[in-house]
Amino acid sequence: MNWAQVVRALILFVLLSPFAQAGQITLSVDDISSPAFHAKAISATLDGPDFSHFEARIGELSLRDRTWRKVRLTCVKTQWNNGVIRCDQGELDLGEKLPVRFVYQQQSKTLALTLDFPRGETWQLSAQWDKPGWNVRVEARNGQVARLAGFLPQGGIRPTAGTWSGSISLDGGHTGVGNVTVDAVFKELAFADTSGLHAGEKIAGGVRCDASRREGGWIWRGEVDWKSGEAFWQPLYFADGRHRFAGQGSLEADWLRLSQGSLRLAGVGEAQLSGAWDRAGRGLTDFDLKAAGLDVAGLYPTLLKPFLEKTAFAKLQAKGGADLAWRYRDGVTTDFDLSLRAAEFVDEDQRFALHGVNAHIPWSNKEERQAELSLQSGEVLRLALGETRVPLTMRGWQFGAPDFSVPLLDGRLNIDGFTASRNDGDWQWRFSGGLAPVSMERFSAALKLPLMQGTLAGIIPAVSYVGGNLKVDGALLFKVFDGTAVVKDLSLHEPFGRVPRLSATLDMRNLDLDLLTSAFSFGNMQGRIDVSVAGLELSDWRPVQFDAKVASSPGNYPKKISQKAVQSISSLGGVGAAAAIQRSFLSFFEQFGYERIGLSCALRNGVCLMDGVEPAPHGYVIVKGGGIPAISVIGYNHQVSWDELLERLKRVTQKNVKPVIQ
Amino acid sequence: MYSQILRLWMAVLLLWMPLLAFAAADLEINTPAIGSLKTTMQQRHDQLAGHYASGAVGLTRNGLVAVRDATLVPLAQRQAVNGLVAAENQDRQALYREIARANGHPEWEDEIRATFAQRWVQKAASGWWYQNQSGVWVRK
């Protein structure tokens, strides 16, 4: 039995039933079913004067996923007149007792029902079901959205607070719903899923949407105006509103399509969208996006940063302008065209910075394309980069660049044969090149080292980056302090990771001690030295292990050591000869001759195991005297904590600080 | 008979060898990198402690941390908590790797991680949440 039949039966009972004379009519129905609802154990009673007292009971009423039990509708002043049933003062008991008014007109088959809640909340249901069609309209004023929660699918997003005003209309025929129209505004809306990963609070805005059934599905058109309020949609967070979406598309058995859409995000910009979502399980398969004039300062924190938390780009200050066109087909990006204008990316951990970035990257996964990148200035690991332009050839995820150079401090880093590729989501790249002279003054100042003189220049053999490891094949050759430096077996693991790890072997020959010692205000020394550092390992840019050795270079050259240098060396070795100088006639001399110098340090577990050119009673010789006046410096501490040694070095190399003689 | 017993003992010994070797790992070993990681983890702990206590963040069985119940975090902080958890996990993974390396055995990383997973739970305050061996969240 359907609902209309029940109502018709009631009216017939009132008008015709012989029981009417007895002053009471009772009707019982076991079950009523329709596609929209299901009701069981229904009974209706009419009694009182002119049958004005009406009471209906439903044992169980189900509407979509929501079920009420012991539903009761009573009306003490029911009016029956020419096929019209009117109740101006009724009560609906849905667990919560609600004032209700309704009018039913049998002729036109219309029902108008109004529920009045406290605090000005009103819900109105009007329905009309005459052949060939029917319509239902729900209107609300300050309606609590939480009342709709029970009508939504389990496990999804549910409204938890807030109100709405507006209307929802459905109409259709015997085949089902034909049109749906929604026009609603929200205040203080809150919603959430059970995990809390998709939620919104205090949202104000409006939704307008209409959908019509067509052969094979629905076509729809909608607008969402999010005026204020916050929302978290893992991993994105929108602190405030002023966002807007408008679009139209279709809904088919397995597909939700957006044929044309426009999304405006406050602080970011506006984008034109279209796409297709496979409801059968593949998710987003096709997507097109075009956006011009995006603000990188808003784009980065809102949409990019949350996806970059585990990368070197997780903490950037970004600004500039961007245009983007993105084409995605069958689950694969086929084209994108990114332009950056006057952009800046500055790492908050000061590992790198790029200023004045302009780029045009028209990428395709099938065709070869040319990209152009340029920056006005930058910085990598505190080393300043100058204006650079890089033309790039792209063949899918294979990138290549002709030889180009990057100004580095006052020199130039020449990069030859740069190639990069992306495999299984991981980038790898390689290049070779050279370093045109960089002044040691600029280099040492940039790295906050004591000012050094000379130049840094060299050849860079093949450098490759694979799986987070940067590796230099062959040897890096540099000219420093009028000598040569060779860096071999250089590899750098996760250079921008949490704990960068470097390993290398360093071999320096024929360094001019005069230049070296003047750089460190160590006390003047003249001569030449060789420095070798084998098995060097740095972790987080600090040494963990090495075998270092400093020794006089072979050959004939003047060998002089100043009194201050003697004191500095003595300080490094602990108790030394400095005190002896001060106590003896040697203090009259500013400089001494020496035959050779040698000092070694094997760093293990934070301790430097020290040795010199040869053993000495209770120690080792660091400077072996020679010539007139000559002096030998003896070290007595074979084991010195690395931190303590650094502290001593710091003390003796700082200007205007007197060496500490122990 | 004797040879069988001997073989059995040899087999038992071989099975225990890796564990015996690992038992020698110095978990308190300190290097500059480990010191730096511990410092940043201690600083971050002040920000995470409240979320451990509320149950929003818990200790996973693999020695990391995870957002257990985002609803316990105010909406405006959920993204920041995600960031804290990601940074903490990066530090924890680096810490296990560094301790293994400092011991001269990078291959011990997994065992060190497993040992730390137990340690974190032992040191956790009452009321904090952790994953048991089956991956089920349990309140301490």
ipTM: 0.72
Tell me what pLDDT residue A169 has: 95
Residue A454 to residues A410, A445, A513, A515, A518, Cα–Cα distance (Å): 13, 13, 12, 8, 11
pLDDT at B18 (0 to 100): 43
- Which chain A residues are Cβ-neighbours of B86 within 8 angstroms? 309-310, 314
* Mean pLDDT, chain A, integer: 86
Cβ <8 Å between A540 and B33: yes
B87 touches chain A (CB under 8 A): yes
Q: Do B90 and A192 touch (CB under 8 A)?
A: no
Question: By percentage, how much of chain A surpasses pLDDT 90?
Answer: 47
Output the 3-class SS for A472-525.
ECCEEEEEECCEEEEEEEEEEECCCCCCCEEEEEEEEEEEEHHHHHHHHCCCCE
State the nearest Cα–Cα gap between B99 and chain A, in angstroms: 12
Q: Decide if B85 touches A, using CB distance below 8 A.
A: no
Across A46-60, A443-457, B44-58, the highest mean pLDDT is recorded for B44-58
Residue with tokens 């990368």: A311
Q: What is the pLDDT of residue A628?
A: 74
Report pLDDT for A441.
82
pLDDT score, position A95? 81
Predicted confidence (pLDDT) at residue A473 exceeds the cutoff of 50: yes
Confidence (pLDDT) at A16: 45
Q: Give me the pLDDT at residue A22, please.
A: 53
Please report the pLDDT score of residue B49 as a whole number: 95
> pLDDT band for position A260 (50/70/90)?
very high
Alpha carbon distances (Å) from A660 to A330, A622, A650: 72, 18, 11
Domain that holds residue B72: 2-139
The single-letter DSSP state of residue B56 is S
Helices A642-653/A563-573 angle, 10° precision: 160
pLDDT for the residue numbered B19 = 45
pLDDT above 90 (res A562): no
- Residue A288, pLDDT > 60, answer yes
The chain B residue lying nearest A237, using CA atoms, is B79
Number of domains in chain B: 1
Handedness of CA A490, A491, A497, A501 (dihedral sign): negative
B73 contacts A309? CB cut-off 8 A:
no
β-strand partners of A360: A339, A372
Q: Do A310 and B90 touch (CB under 8 A)?
A: yes
Q: DSSP assignment, residue A540?
A: T
Most confident region among A25-39, A217-231, A594-608 by mean pLDDT: A217-231
- Model confidence at A660, pLDDT cuts 50, 70, 90, reads very low
Question: A54 and A87 in contact (C-beta within 8 Å)?
Answer: yes
The answer to whether B43 faces chain A, any CB pair under 8 Å, is: no
Cα-trace Rg, chain A? 42
Nearest CA of chain A to the CA of B101: how many Å?
Answer: 10
B79, B84, B90, best to mutate vs chain A, most A CBs in 10 Å: B79
Order across the sheet with B129-131: list the strands.
Answer: B65-67, B57-59, B129-131, B137-139
Query: Which pLDDT score is estimated for A162?
Result: 96
3-class DSSP assignment, residue A453: coil
Q: Does B109 touch chain A (CB under 8 A)?
A: no
pLDDT score recorded for residue A496: 74
Instruction: Quote the minimal CA–CA distance from A59 to chain B in Å.
Output: 37
Taking CB atoms and an 8 Å limit, are A499 and B79 in contact across chains?
no
Between chain A and chain B, the number of residue pairs with CB atoms below 8 A apart is 74
Q: Distance (Å, rounded) from C-alpha A222 to C-alpha A220?
A: 7
A445 to chain B, minimum CA–CA distance in Å? 24
pLDDT score of A589 more than 90: no
Measured between CA atoms, the residue of chain A closest to residue B73 is: A196
Does the model's pTM come out above 0.80?
no
Which range of A310-319, A505-514, A587-596, B3-12 scores highest in mean pLDDT? It is A505-514
Percent of chain A with pLDDT strictly greater than 70: 90
Q: How far is CA A221 from CA A140, A181, A183, A216, in A?
A: 22, 10, 12, 17
A275 contacts A258 by C-beta, under 8 angstroms:
yes
Asked if B82's CB is within 8 angstroms of A309's CB, the reply is yes
Interface of B with A in 58-77 (CB under 8 A): 69-73, 75-76
Encoded tokens for A193: 């899923």
Residue pLDDT, tens place only, B48-99: 999 999 999 999 999 999 999 999 999 999 999 988 999 999 999 999 999 9
